Amino acid sequence: MDTSRLLLLVYMVVTTSECSETAEPGCFQLDTKTRKLNEGEAFHFMHDKLNINVPDEEITWFNNNQTEITADENETVHCHGGSLFFLNLLPEDSGLYSTRHNTSSGKCTNYTIRVYVLKKFVFEPIISSDITKKVTCPRHVNRTCSTLRGELTWNKDNKTLHGQNEYILWVENAKKKDEGIYTCVCTWTHNGKKYNTSGHRNLTVNGVKVSYRKLQIISPTNEEQLADEESIIPLVTGGVCVLSLCVFAAVLIKCFAIDLALFFRPFLPKSSYKKDSRVYDAYVVYQTQSMDKVTEDSLSQFITNTLPSVLEEKCGYRLFIHGRDSIPGEDRLELVEDRMQQSRRLMVLLTPGSGPESTEETLTSTRDSLIGGFDWQVGLHHALLQREMSVILIQLGATGPQGYSHLPAGLQHLIQKSAPIRWPEGSRGAAASNSRFWKRVRYLMPARPARTHPPSAIL
């Protein structure tokens, strides 16, 4: 080997050795991340490959001017280890940011992120043909909330959606009214101050497309073509069944209307009942004179035993029966007027008429003694003129040949409006509170008895 070649070889070996000692090891470059952010908000970035507990001395951050970013908390853009914080973003913060991670083992990795700070919201469209729409919170908001333990909320068109705090928002059976801008907002704390990071999604509900089959007109193969007779039978059968069901339901309701009303009374709220301070549920008016012995005994049995045992003892109502509930020595006119005003119903007991009908004089005397005289006049005044009381008419025994013609005109008017309830004396089970007769009486009585008033209110 000549001298010139030997010198060249020595130079190359020395040069290569020097370069290997002074050159920086090559860094592995990862893909650049891109984030579109809102002006005035905050953002926290940490690469997926980085650990939040990476020591600060292994990480170096650079801004878009290749100036090193410090950990100074007074700076709107600062770093802590593998975390890069953007506080109160401005448009001039847009650019390319990078970090170099030099591990203790000698490995080197470069991470980069390109940030766009926009003055207007970024609406990411939701593309889905499903009826139930899935609105997903953008990934950078999810990651910020998860890493910094923030609080996530949702709003639609700037209106808060209460109770929605998950990263996925489901819109069931989405319709046109559900269209709009859905925003998930993460509120997190850094150095004692609260910051927001948000992402926006645009939900559009497309109309349902309806496809129609091409209309085909098929000509008959013969001169006459009969329609299929099984084709109309299901329609007729279905119509008849529906009509029958409606008629049956109407008849059922008509027959059992009173039973249904009595059954549901205890379950109705107290606010649905009319409140008053009256202490009696009914004032009982009955004929006191011009009766035969049989009628008088029947009336006495009904007033003293049957009526109180059912309505008062079994049903809890309070009745005022003249003679039984009168206070000795009290003025009769004053007593009737006072007890009538304290009663919620007027119960009239009708008995067969008696006495001659041939002359106007005898008929007038019968009317004067009928239905308790003054009791009836006061009750008729409250029921017909003042409309303060409802009337319950009960017929004891037969009406007789003269019917109701011998009764006062006001009472005849009430009978024409509502036929009296006939007392089935002697029939089996008539005295039972669940008999048809007593159900009709209870239906006309107040829904709630007046027994809630203290006894002192009666005196």
Q: Is 227 exposed, middle or buried (0-12, 13-18, 19+ CB in 10 A)?
A: exposed
Looking at the structure, do residues 449 and 390 belong to the same domain, yes or no?
yes
Looking at the structure, do residues 157 and 183 belong to the same domain, yes or no?
yes
What is the 3-class SS of the chain, one letter each residue?
Answer: CCHHHHHHHHHHHHHHHHHHHHCCCCCEECCCEEEEEECCCCEEECCCCCCCCCCHHHEEEECCCCCEECCCCCCCEEEECCEEEECCCCHHHCEEEEEEEECCCCCEEEEEEEEEEECCCCEEEECCCCCCEEEECCHHHHHHHHHHCCEEEEEECCEECCCCCCCEEEECCCCHHHCEEEEEEEEEEECCEEEEEEEEEEECCCCCCCCCCCCCCCCCCCCCCCCCHHHCHHHHHHHHHHHHHHHHHHHHHHHCHHHHHHHHHHHCCHHHCCCCCCCECEEEEECCCCCCHHHHHHHHHHHHHHHHHHHHHHCCCCEEECCCCCCCCCCHHHHHHHHHHCECEEEEEECCCCCCCCCHHHHHHHHHHHHHCHHHHHHHHHHHHCCCCEEEEEEECCCCCCCCCCCCHHHHHHHHHCCCEEECCCCCCCCCCCCHHHHHHHHHCCCCCCCCCCHHHCC
- Residue 121 CA to residue 116 CA, distance in Å, equals 12
Percent with pLDDT over 90 in the chain: 11
Evaluate whether residue 217 is within a structural domain: no
Looking at the structure, do residues 188 and 305 belong to the same domain, yes or no?
no
Looking at the structure, do residues 346 and 433 belong to the same domain, yes or no?
yes
Evaluate whether residue 260 is within a structural domain: no
- Contact by Cβ (8 Å): 278, 342: yes
- Contact by Cβ (8 Å): 197, 188: yes
Last residue within a domain, chosen from 72, 94, 118:
118
List the end-to-end C-alpha distance of the chain, in Å, as a whole number: 145
Last residue within a domain, chosen from 55, 89, 118:
118
Average pLDDT over the chain reads: 78
User: What does the pLDDT read at residue 214?
Assistant: 54
pLDDT at 217 over 70: no
- Residue 137 CA to residue 140 CA, distance in Å, equals 9
pLDDT tens per residue across span 181-196: 899 999 999 988 899 9
- Contact by Cβ (8 Å): 258, 443: yes
The type of residue at 448 is R
CB atoms near residue 392 (< 10 Å): 20
- Residue 304 CA to residue 147 CA, distance in Å, equals 85
- Residue 151 CA to residue 187 CA, distance in Å, equals 5
Evaluate whether residue 23 is within a structural domain: no
User: What does the pLDDT read at residue 121?
Assistant: 67
CATH of the domain at 199: 2.60.40.10
- Residue 454 CA to residue 452 CA, distance in Å, equals 6
Looking at the structure, do residues 106 and 56 belong to the same domain, yes or no?
yes
pLDDT tens per residue across span 148-175: 889 999 998 888 888 888 888 898 888 8
Residue 211's pLDDT band, with cuts at 50, 70 and 90, is: very low
Evaluate whether residue 241 is within a structural domain: no
Looking at the structure, do residues 310 and 371 belong to the same domain, yes or no?
yes
Looking at the structure, do residues 110 and 153 belong to the same domain, yes or no?
no
User: What does the pLDDT read at residue 11?
Assistant: 38
Evaluate whether residue 20 is within a structural domain: no
Looking at the structure, do residues 328 and 195 belong to the same domain, yes or no?
no
Residue 353's pLDDT band, with cuts at 50, 70 and 90, is: low
Looking at the structure, do residues 39 and 177 belong to the same domain, yes or no?
no
Looking at the structure, do residues 70 and 152 belong to the same domain, yes or no?
no
Evaluate whether residue 73 is within a structural domain: yes
pLDDT at 364 over 60: no
More confident residue, 364 or 111: 111
Domain tally, the chain: 3
Looking at the structure, do residues 140 and 106 belong to the same domain, yes or no?
no
Q: What is the pTM of this model?
A: 0.44
Evaluate whether residue 394 is within a structural domain: yes
Last residue within a domain, chosen from 174, 203, 232:
203
Evaluate whether residue 459 is within a structural domain: no
Looking at the structure, do residues 148 and 105 belong to the same domain, yes or no?
no
Could you list the residue range(s) of the whole structural domain that residue 288 is in? 278-453
Residue 247's pLDDT band, with cuts at 50, 70 and 90, is: very high
- Residue 225 CA to residue 456 CA, distance in Å, equals 89
As given in the structure block, the two tokens for residue 153 are 């909320």
What value does the mean pLDDT take over residues 302-327? 88
CATH of the domain at 319: 3.40.50.10140
